[in-house]
Structure 1
Amino acid sequence: MSDNWKSSLPASRPLSTDISDQIAMRIATGDLMADDRLPSEAELAVQFDCSRATVREALKRLAARNLIRTKRGHSGGAFVNHLTFDAAVEAHVATSTLLLSMNAVDFETAAEARFALERACADLACANHEPADLHDMKKAVDALSARCDDIAFCAADVAFHRAFVDAAHNPVLSYQLAGAVEGMQPLMNMITYPDRDRQEITRNYRRLANAVRARDGSEARLVLAELEALTIALFHRGQARRGRV
């Protein structure tokens, strides 16, 4: 493990967060493998030139993300966990949410990336979907069509996109889209909800579900492109209404 971590840390966030992110990156890149023991709190405090309390908080963050486990006793310490797919998705969603909520990525850039990734699922979803996937999309559209509050609408919105992505039956795409759908979509809804037309959104989702059912990848990509343009237009409309443009 390198002793030269501190030089690459940004100063805009709490140091404990940046330390945990640096260690998480070492795990993700394979510099730290499952069951490897991390340096002691004292050693990490020296490496990062910080207090042991700061290191302890960083380790708590890693444990909360299921990236490490701690063991007491003479042979104890902090050890890298065997990372499961579900844990990786959870961490990915949390990071994506932070990126947008902290304005580390602007809205339009996030929307472009998210819909580009969803369009990458279109042909696979049309080719690989199963009856259960169509059922899940229809269930979400039905929920969107019902009278419901914003929280329930957002939940159904996320459920629809999750069902569409999962219809591709490609775990790599599902992982990549988890942050966009489950992390970014709720935040995008919060930003655009005063200006959105529920009927228009529901109508487009029904078109997308029908395209998947008909195995029409071109139509699916077209609907997603229209949804991207609508989402960005709603954002700019809200910005103008609030006098920010």
Structure 2
Amino acid sequence: MKIDPNSPANLSAQIANAIRDGIVEGRLIVNERLPSEAELAEQFEVSRPTVREALKRLAAQSLIRTQRGATGGAFVNKLSYQDAYAQQVTTSTLLLSMNAVSFDTACEARYALERACAPLAAERRSADQLAVMRSEVFRQNQSGLTDEAFCDSDVMFHRALVDAAGNPVLSYQLAGAVEAMQPLMNMITFTARDRARMVNLHKAIADATEARDAPAISLGLTELEEETRTLASAVFARRTPHALRAAKD
């Protein structure tokens, strides 16, 4: 593991990347103890504070854990999908908000990915996942539910459907779609949507999931996509004249 002292990249970032590469490539295995700070500082020819900062970066990514005591130190962590889930959501949210991804592009990706889960969800759904979907449909039907709570329930409903596929890799890959794209879509469309229509579509998807009817799940998701695109078009159409008037003023 080496770093380039002449590189413009931060030294602690280079060290973190070098150790991360060692973990990814299998040269550093799960539960293996890393060299001490002093040993790493000597190996990379940097100060101990620089090493300490690198270890903090790795800990923030859940790649290592630290233990105190005589047998303590920094150890290679066993990264779970759940540990990485939040990072996936954050990264997806940033990509969508900072890289000018169009609503249609995000919508297309989000529903195409979820439809891919339909056959597996129909086959593998559990009673608990069905209960979550039913509970969220019931919650969405409450007349006093705020827009924010409705959006949260919407995310929970789709998260249960995705998790019903019983594949942690799919759940991880869809984290951005369900918990990043969906909230952003809700922010745009919540003022225009017909809650009753959305709830009916959710109920139809839940019914199809319970009946193990994959084509019907996929159809329900397609109808949701069409509804979402229609709502977004209406919202954008209303915003355009307002923006033009503001520009003239």
Please give the range of the TM-score, normalised by the shorter of the 2 chains. Answer: 0.7 to 0.9
Match of 2:247 in 1: none
**In structure 2, do the counterparts of structure 1 residues 226 and 44 end up closer, same or farther at CA, with 3 Å as the change threshold?**
farther
Tell me how far apart the structure 1 counterparts of residues 115 and 66 of structure 2 sit (CA, whole Å).
41
Match of 2:225 in 1: 228
The 5-angstrom pairing of residues 1-245 of structure 1 reads: 1=1, 3=3, 26=21, 33-34=29-30, 35=32, 37=34, 60-69=56-65, 80-103=76-99, 105-146=101-142, 147-243=144-240
Q: Which moved more, 1:140-149 or 1:34-43?
A: 34-43
Preserved CA contact (<8 Å) 2:137 2:202: yes
Deviation track 1:130-188 (CA, whole Å, cap 9, x = no partner) reads 22222111001011111211221111111110111122222222222222212222222
CA-based RMSD of the aligned residues comes to 3.9
**In structure 2, do the counterparts of structure 1 residues 25 and 93 end up closer, same or farther at CA, with 3 Å as the change threshold?**
farther
Preserved CA contact (<8 Å) 2:110 2:177: yes
Match of 1:49 in 2: none
Structure 1, unpaired ranges of 5+: 10-14, 47-51
TM superposition shift of 1:208: 0.7
Preserved CA contact (<8 Å) 1:19 1:55: no
Tell me how far apart the structure 1 counterparts of residues 103 and 44 of structure 2 sit (CA, whole Å).
36
Instruction: Name the aligned partner's letter for residue 238 of structure 1.
Output: V
- So what's the TM-score if we normalise by structure 2? 0.74
**In structure 2, do the counterparts of structure 1 residues 100 and 211 end up closer, same or farther at CA, with 3 Å as the change threshold?**
same
Tell me how far apart the structure 1 counterparts of residues 149 and 184 of structure 2 sit (CA, whole Å).
14
- So what's the TM-score if we normalise by structure 1? 0.75
**In structure 2, do the counterparts of structure 1 residues 231 and 71 end up closer, same or farther at CA, with 3 Å as the change threshold?**
same
Preserved CA contact (<8 Å) 2:117 2:162: yes
TM superposition shift of 1:121: 1.0
**In structure 2, do the counterparts of structure 1 residues 224 and 56 end up closer, same or farther at CA, with 3 Å as the change threshold?**
farther
**In structure 2, do the counterparts of structure 1 residues 36 and 96 end up closer, same or farther at CA, with 3 Å as the change threshold?**
farther
Tell me how far apart the structure 2 counterparts of residues 120 and 132 of structure 1 sit (CA, whole Å).
21
Q: Percent identity?
A: 50
SS at match of 1:86: helix
**In structure 2, do the counterparts of structure 1 residues 219 and 29 end up closer, same or farther at CA, with 3 Å as the change threshold?**
farther
Q: Which protein shows a greater Rg?
A: 2
Tell me how far apart the structure 2 counterparts of residues 237 and 28 of structure 1 sit (CA, whole Å).
47
The number of equivalent residue pairs is 236
Instruction: Name the aligned partner's letter for residue 156 of structure 2.
Output: A
Instruction: Name the aligned partner's letter for residue 240 of structure 1.
Output: A
